[in-house]
Amino acid sequence: MRAVLQRVSEASVTVDDNITGEIKQGLLILFCAEHGDNDDQAAYFARKISKMRIFTDEDGKMNRSVIDVNGSVLAVSQFTLAANWKKGNRPGFSGAANPSEGERLYEFFCNALQNEGLSVEKGVFGAHMDVKLRNDGPVTIVMDSKDSA
């Protein structure tokens, strides 16, 4: 499982000229389920993300979570985070979960974020999406379940 968190002042996702998700201050999360990923990992990611202190306090230090700043989340499925780019010039994506399992884990992850108390907007799984963001900082965190203990 992989996720890329971007602290944003605003973000939106559009599909076929329709905005499907839009937030102000918060996190844009690009999410990818890989073969062998499970609900426990998705729930763990949601817990960590909800408590991760990457927003600044009054002293300019990163001491606040997205919950602490009353921020929202825009979660976007992105199977390309599973890219195998080491051989050749065209990345392969065979490490990504199959579409039905990927969608199930994406929805589970979004629900787990909501269960942590976050307001969650979403993209459309499997759709071609136009994602816009204003990165705040910039602050970008890469999470990979292979790195978690």
Name, in order, each residue with C-beta under 8 angstroms of 8's C-beta and a sequence gap of 6 or more: 23, 25, 26, 27, 28, 74, 133, 134, 135, 136
Length of the chain counted residue by residue:
149
Is 140 catalytic? The answer is no
Spot the catalytic one: 80, 109, 114, 125: 80
Is 80 catalytic? The answer is yes
Is 108 catalytic? The answer is no
- Side-chain half-sphere exposure of 53, counting CA atoms within 13 A: 7
Spot the catalytic one: 45, 78, 108, 109: 78
Please state, in angstroms and rounded to a whole number, the distance separating the CA atoms of residues 103 and 98: 9
Spot the catalytic one: 79, 109, 114, 140: 79
- Say if residues 32 and 96 touch (Cβ distance below 8 Å): yes
Q: Catalytic positions, please?
A: 78-80
